[in-house]
Every structure is written in structure tokens, then in C-alpha cells.
Amino acid sequence: MSDQAFEYSVIAAPLRGDKSRDAKSPTDRYALALAAELNRMAADGWDYVRADVLPSEERSGLTGRTTIYHNLLVFRRPRAADARAAGGVADMPASKPEQSAI
């Protein structure tokens, strides 16, 4: 499978947890929100690869700059043309995640 080309999508990790009766602690609520994002992407054929924390230089005030760190979730799936050629899914959905794919 190393010859197969993939397309990637990167989305922001949830900032807050989801409320639920079963989620008692903040950690449980955050895990619930994270699982919801992973399941949402999986429904569109995306496989979870990893989470990354990456810096971004952003404007602070009129002339200043500051570094902000973003928590990102990385997903991948086989390109549609490669999946058809390999005898996989006839047509993969062309749905786009909320944030642009890289």
C-alpha cells in the first residue's frame, strides 16, 4: 500500500468538551467532543493519522506579533482515482471537511 497516493485533511481539534450525562469530568467531556469529530470525519472516509501542535505567528495589536499554538487533527484517505484503480470503492464521496484539505 506504500505506492498508493493519499489526500490529507487537517482540522482544528475541539476547544471545549461536549456536555453529557455520562461525561462527569472535564476530561470525559473533552474525550466525547474529540470522539464526535473523529467519527464525523470517519463517516466521510477519512482515517485518523495523528494530532499535532503547530505554531502560527499572528498579529498582536497594531505592530506586534505573537506565536499562537494550534491543536490540529490530521486525517487521510486514498485518492478517489487510486481507490477505483485498485478495485476499491466505485466512487468515494467528494464531500469537503469544514476546513481545507492540504
Give the whole-angstrom CA distance, residue 17 versus residue 32: 7
What tens digit of pLDDT does each residue of 50-102 get? Answer: 999 999 999 988 899 999 999 999 999 999 776 555 555 444 444 444 454 45
pTM of the complete model beyond 0.75: no
Cβ neighbours of 79 (radius 10 Å): 14
What tens digit of pLDDT does each residue of 53-67 get? Answer: 999 999 988 899 999
Q: Are residues 8 and 74 in contact, defined by beta-carbon separation less than 8 angstroms? A: yes
